Structure 1
Amino acid sequence: KESTVKYDKVLLDAPCSGLGVLSKRADLRWNRQFEDLEELVCLQDELLDSASLLVKPGGVLIYSTCSIDHEENENRVTTFVQRHPEFTPQGVHGYVPAEFITDDGFYSSSPTKHSLDGAFAARLVRSMH
């Protein structure tokens, strides 16, 4: 059921594989299976769909994970926009340092490149109509 309450900004910090924080969670290396990722991807899609219902026209949906896996990050954004053409990815330029901005305008930190936990974020803007 669609909510009648709408917000200017919605943050979805989605459950994920945690592949960006393996240095802190070594147990994930041994406890994750391929089936886990498939389930997470389905859950991430469901949560994105639900979160989108809360964004008012002209509002922003931020999708974030602590993963460095394209399947959980860029691919989720791509499939979301295909399902919801009223949303457009908008770059994070001006919000984060340039070294963390991908070619597609998303935020991405890398344990190897930045000596930080791996993370991802996309800024998705809902059209006014």
Structure 2
Amino acid sequence: MTQPDPSGTTPAQNAARLLLGSALIFAGVGHLTFARQEFQAQVPDSLPFDQDGVVLASGVAEIALGATLIGIPAKRRRTAGAVAAAFFVAVFPGNISQLLTHSDSLGLDTDTKRWLRLPGQPLLIAWALWSTGFFNKKGS
């Protein structure tokens, strides 16, 4: 059995954290560049903000979260996981909006695909928390 590192996370958790951080950076870059219009389709019309501004801000936030997950000192990983999980909760209304408005983007061009995406958000939340040792016993 693998022993946890001093942060209380196992090598599998650390690999998952690095993968999640990398995915967030990639998605954030997409928000700012090649997928910018695609992400606008997920911004709920009910938000009182410019859709492009929301996409740009969330892209910057994703890049910052990804870089944090990759480079954060071990003693701050639980906090970073909680912040990443909160971010995934905050953007979930965009996934619901895309379903309700039947917006095609990011390959989600049917309601079935949009429905199937929804359970992915709780998995991202769990991934952020697990990979940063949020559920590990303190001091382990």
TM-score, normalised to structure 2, is: 0.28
The structure with higher relative contact order (CA 8 Å, sep 6+) is 2
Structure whose residues are more often strand by fraction: 1
Structure whose residues are more often helix by fraction: 2
Higher CA-based Rg: 2
